[in-house]
Structure 1
Amino acid sequence: MKKIIIIAVFLIGVASVAQNKNAKASIHVDGVCEMCEKRIETACIKTKGVKLADWNVATHELKLIYNENKTNLYAIKKSIVAVGHDTEGMKASDEAYNNLHECCKYRDEEVKAAH
């Protein structure tokens, strides 16, 4: 029994240390323009542990490289919705969305059509 406990503790320790310092992820983030791109990427980079954030205006795909020892996708998405942009599984508050510039109102069909 003692050996099983020691092995379990060892495996848990190894698993926690073995987190990826250059984890890659790709998520969908709503936006419509280059101002949105700058806002989204800046929000990500300001999140401790994010090394690279590249949002594509045409596809709405955000590519990330981040350190799993310092952050996770939930924290990154939280930073993005805080500046007014919806992500996979998280929606920006109405207050954050309403603070966006008029040309960045991606929920408005007329604005989307204009881009």
Structure 2
Amino acid sequence: MKKIILSIITMATLGFTSCKNEAKTNENSNDIAINATFGVRGNCGMCKTTIEKAAKSVEGVTYANWDVDKKTIELAFDDTKTTTETIHKAIAASGYDTESAVGVESAYDNLPGCCQYDHAMEMNQSGEEDHSGHSN
């Protein structure tokens, strides 16, 4: 009897673990319909976290992925709940410049030193190196 109960518990636990892993895999899959892509200035992994968190704080945003090399964010959102303009403003409020919104200066000043980017930095880069060794 103890072996049967232990087997049932083990199978149930494996089943839950499997579902959790599938959910994580699907969340990062290429099946996400991207509604918008635009440039956002930033430097590092900490910037990525802050930029994506700001975008996801907007009601209706279901996916945000900022590419540190390309200085570009991909977004999926419910366009009946928000607009790209609202997302631009949310990211700017966290201190980061976007293609259509300037980062809030006081928020920028409070970013860690590694996150204080060059305001003249190009956005929407290809991510490829040119012959001079600089990113495009």
Fold match (TM-score > 0.5): yes
Equivalent residue, structure 1, for 2:56: 45
Deviations 1:48-101 (A, max 9, x none): 000100000000110000001000001101110010000012101211110110
- Residue in 2 that maps onto 1:86: 97
Structure ranking higher in helix proportion: 1
Q: Closer, same or farther in 2 for the Cα pair 1:33/1:72, shift >3 Å?
A: same
Q: What's the counterpart of residue 44 of structure 2?
A: 33
Give 1:99's aligned residue. Answer: 110
Kindly provide the amino acid, as one letter, of the partner of residue 30 in structure 1: R
Within a 5 Å distance, the mapping from 1:50-69 to structure 2 comes to 50-69=61-80
The structural deviation recorded for 1:108 is 7.0
Distance 2:68 2:34 in 1: 23
For the aligned residue pairs, the C-alpha RMSD in angstroms reads 1.8
Conserved 8 A contact 1:40-1:80? yes
Unmatched 5+ stretches in structure 2? 1-32, 121-136
TM-score, scaled relative to structure 1? 0.72
CA contact (8 A) 1:23 1:67 kept: no
Q: What is the CA distance between 1:23 and its match in structure 2?
A: 6.0
